[in-house]
Structure 1
Amino acid sequence: MHNRRQALIGLGALATTPWIHAQTGDWPRRTVRIVVPFTAGSPPDLIARAIAPKLSENLGQPVIVDNKPGATTIIGTEHVVHAAPDGYTVLLTATGAASVFPAIMKLRYDPIKDLPPLGLVATSQQVFFSGGPKRAKTLKEFLDWARQNPGKANIGSIGIGTTNHLASEMLRKAADIQFTYVPFQSAQAGMQAVINGDVDLFCADVGVILGFLGSDKVSPLAVAGASRSEYLPNTPTLAESGISGVLSANRFALFLPKGVPQPVFTRLSTALAAAVNEEEAGQALRKLGMTATYAPAEAVAEVIRNDAGTMAPLAKALNIQIN
């Protein structure tokens, strides 16, 4: 019996060894995975791949990107929620998933309690644009046509309940127009519809259209921000176009499973801040039409709270629901 008890104690010690190492600063000891609940080539995926090399360098271990798309990001997100809280599995997604999704769908997790933020990585302005041979060349031109043809216009974006979708709904209210909303599964599918002229107006992150500028396939009409985009200096803001009160942006952050030990959290946070602030990562994100923007966990939590106070009520008022 004495030997059996010693064996059990030994097994227990082995089982807790990773936690002891984590608590004493001997972390990381193996590969760290960034789970992205979007398809390869999507803005979040590209962000993760832009920061992964520097994050790997700062941590001294490989950092890989693991795409787990599906079910409006729920598949990948739940994977992280249920992952071991050892710091080896992190989530990169838009902050809107935490601020808006609880208002429009039934979740099997609490995005505030179960996924504490690690830090902000990047921000992206959003732009309204048109495409196709009969595309509008200015926002006023589109709005005038939409008012003269009530109900005939359609506006697209990536996903129901995303900030892009809600920005479109804010435009509907501010401009007093009627339209049909058309959601797309990916930026690629949405862009093809725009170029074909199947969608009259589209709202997306600025980076989505950078590769099409100068091709005479799309016309950026207005930026949904307080200032013009450095990537689209000749495109006015919505306010400059006569539409006030519509401000929207996409923010992307890293999140962790609940319960990650504080020493691991601090190590990851320090490595992330250094990676995002590196000029190399900044340049990689600028090529995507995004801005490297590090902010600590507390600031990310505040962003989520503020957005929940504005975007979530809008989603409820519009009866936006995802089953």
Structure 2
Amino acid sequence: MRNQSHQFPRLVQLAAMAALLGSGSAAMAQAWPAKTVSIIVPFATGGTTDAIARTMGQELSKVLGQPVIVENKPGAGATIGADYVAKAKPDGYTLLVGAVHHTIATSVYKKLPYDFQRDLAPVSTVAMVPNVLVVNPNVPARNVKELIALARKSPGKMTYGSNGNGTGQHLIAAQFSMASGVDLMHVPYKGSGPLTIDLLGGQIDMSFDTVTPVLSHIRAGKLRALAVTTIKRSAALPDVPTLDESGLKGFDQGTWFGVLAPVATPKDVVARLNAELVKIANSPEFKKRMDEIGAVPVGNTATQMATQIRTDTDRFAKLVKQAKVTIE
């Protein structure tokens, strides 16, 4: 009996330690965030990813009660920023604004220093933005049919810009080239900001960028929109036909944007982030800002985002193979 009585305090101590360890995740979620949260944008300033991240960051800061800052880490088709977050401390303080581009990079780049599906945990898709085929006004084409005819006269001479090798814009242009039978010259940039500057200046002929960075220039008549790349017209550009309507039947490509965290980030922190992002996506303030930049708010579950990533990775792998797009 005496031995058992001496063991009792020890058993209580062990039980208390087990309870403490078991509640560690919940305790961290309650404590998080206790400092500034960084959102990594894998493109230069001035693009769609940047605009969505800054709007989201402002709203997230309000509900979290901590500063949320946006850091731009552009380059290599958005893979530099993704690699940075994949290798960051998994504590919920370093997040990535990922996009459809990352599902393409998996197939385009022969060697990546990270695995997008293995090393990053989906949190929520926050918005979807249609892409739009725009040309500099000096290009004498008023519609897609005229542009195709013009490009066929000078194979490999007409130029299009993208926000990087292996990005959505690059693959959409590659798909357009295959579907229309034209040969275009690709000019990659580190983001939509510098791309748009050169497009406005006439250094390149066209782009297949998202609606956001070119919308104001289209409305001002500085760029000419020929078609949107989604199967449905854009609410921001209701008078612009789709590529499907313009003769490229079945053409349907857009760009989604979402938040991811390092894969070992505590599940309770990811769950908290998801709940807040879904609320933000459905808030009047966020919807208003998305309307202004031609984006559609989403706000889904982490599981739905993971499914979307797997589906797009498989889909683009086939397109990459067909278009023979590879980067060392």
TM-score (norm 1): 0.88
In structure 2, the partner of 1:82 is 87
Deviates more, 1:161-170 or 1:145-154: 145-154
CA contact (8 A) 2:212 2:295 kept: yes
Query: Which amino acid is the alignment partner of residue 56 of structure 1?
Result: S
CA contact (8 A) 2:282 2:297 kept: yes
Query: Which amino acid is the alignment partner of residue 74 of structure 1?
Result: T
Residues 215 and 271 (structure 1), Cα distance of their counterparts in 2 relative to 1, 3 Å cut: closer
Q: How many residues align?
A: 306
CA contact (8 A) 1:124 1:291 kept: yes
Matched, 1:107 2:112: yes
Deviation string 1:159-189 (CA, Å, 9 cap, x unpaired) is: 1111111111111111122222222233233
Residues 72 and 168 (structure 1), Cα distance of their counterparts in 2 relative to 1, 3 Å cut: closer
Higher helix share: 2
CA distance in 2, matches of 1:26, 1:192: 44
Structure 2 unpaired stretches of 5+: 1-20
In structure 2, the partner of 1:122 is 127
CA contact (8 A) 1:21 1:27 kept: no
Deviation string 1:77-130 (CA, Å, 9 cap, x unpaired) is: 222112221111111121330x21121211111110110110001111000011
Residues 63 and 242 (structure 1), Cα distance of their counterparts in 2 relative to 1, 3 Å cut: same
2:281 to 239, 258, 276: 276
CA contact (8 A) 1:167 1:247 kept: no
CA distance in 2, matches of 1:296, 1:241: 35
> Any residues of structure 2 matched to 1:185-264 within 5 Å, and which?
185-264=190-269
CA distance in 1, matches of 2:139, 2:92: 51
2:170 to 165, 169, 189: 165
Q: Percent identity?
A: 34
In structure 1, the partner of 2:48 is 43
In structure 2, the partner of 1:293 is 298
Deviates more, 1:112-121 or 1:289-298: 289-298
CA distance in 2, matches of 1:225, 1:70: 26
**What's the secondary structure of 1:168's corresponding residue?**
helix
CA distance in 1, matches of 2:139, 2:257: 34
CA distance in 2, matches of 1:234, 1:89: 40
Deviates more, 1:55-64 or 1:119-128: 55-64
Deviates more, 1:225-234 or 1:197-206: 197-206
**What's the secondary structure of 1:116's corresponding residue?**
strand
CA distance in 2, matches of 1:232, 1:24: 42
CA contact (8 A) 1:19 1:86 kept: no
User: What is the CA RMSD across the aligned residues, in angstroms?
Assistant: 2.0
Deviates more, 1:182-191 or 1:18-27: 18-27
CA distance in 2, matches of 1:93, 1:135: 36
Query: Which amino acid is the alignment partner of residue 204 of structure 1?
Result: D
